[in-house]
Amino acid sequence: MEPEHVCSAKAAPRGSDFFYATLYADAERRRALHAVEALWRELEQSITGASDERVSRARLEWWRGELDATFAGRPNHPVGRALLRAAEHFNLAREYLDEMVEGVELDLRYTGYQAFEDLGLYCYRTGAVRWMLFAEIQGIGHPRVNKFAHDLGTGLRLLELLQDAGRNCGRGIIHFPASDMERAGIKPADLMAPQTTEAVRGFFALQGDRVTEQLDHALAHLPEPARHDQLVGLIAERLGRALLAEIADDGYAVLDRRIELNPLRKLWLAWRTMRREKRRARKTRTPRP
């Protein structure tokens, strides 16, 4: 199977958020976006797909070696071959890919997070750096685009952690600040329960507010002339807000069930965002003299 097909199947299966976020990217950029996201999925599966920590560490070390081989021009894995092509076309920052490996490895060294600031490094490595790479692939064009990508990736990663709280907390991994739990009057055991209590709902609502804050910051940093190039991020931002609204409407019962937008709605939101940005670009285009 061709590397691009392997990456698309791994990174953006039909119906997924990333499938719709990248739907309107041109073919070369879409291949590169899928290659980076496929690496992330492979790294993530190194942790979630292994019952033995030694196996997880061995898999991550293999991927470190594969990144070395890729940037030496000798990739072995289809994802590595796709990343080599992306790196040649878009000058991908190797250090960001290394940060992704380090971010996944943080779950193996997990000891909890005392304050929101302590969670920042994890969100940077497992969320922000991906979107900074995505922004690079789409075309930076303005120095503030990196800040947009950083805050967008952080917000979307916080949203993923909220959406997957039932699964992660059930495994004993709580990606939420202990200081927030103390203020809400709850304990880690409350987050490991199979049902969402009222106190826990309020706690998760606070986490939802943080997602909104990060997404608001991201949009505030995005310069008007760069919006068209960053359509993938803008679609992802729109899908993220819609998902957060669904979670809120469900009373933040994320321990009870995992909320997901249906594919038709994702397609509608992606299309509307694309059309909105096209109209916006036409209105702001400088008239010819």
Residue 264's CATH number: 1.10.600.10
pLDDT of residue 289: 42
Does residue 287 surpass a pLDDT of 70?
A: no
pTM for the structure as a whole: 0.94
pLDDT tens for each residue of 158-208: 999 999 999 999 888 899 999 999 999 999 999 998 888 999 999 999 999
Whether residue 220 is found in the same domain as residue 276: yes
- Our count of domains for the chain comes to 2
Residue 154's domain spans which residues? 111-282
Measured CA to CA, the distance from residue 30 to residue 33 in angstroms comes to 5
Question: Looking at the domain assignment, is residue 288 inside a domain?
Answer: no
**Mean pLDDT computed over 45-54:** 84
Q: Is residue 287 part of a domain?
A: no
Q: Using the 3D structure, point to which of 88, 109, 130 is the last residue of a domain.
A: 109
Shared domain for 149 and 254, answered yes or no, is yes
Angstrom distance (rounded) from CA 208 to CA 188: 18
Query: Looking at beta carbons, which pairs linking 38-42 to residues 24 or more positions away fall under 8 Å?
Result: 38/6, 38/7, 38/8, 38/10, 38/11, 38/79, 38/82, 39/63, 39/79, 39/83, 39/97, 39/100, 40/11, 40/100, 40/130, 41/10, 41/11, 42/10, 42/77, 42/79
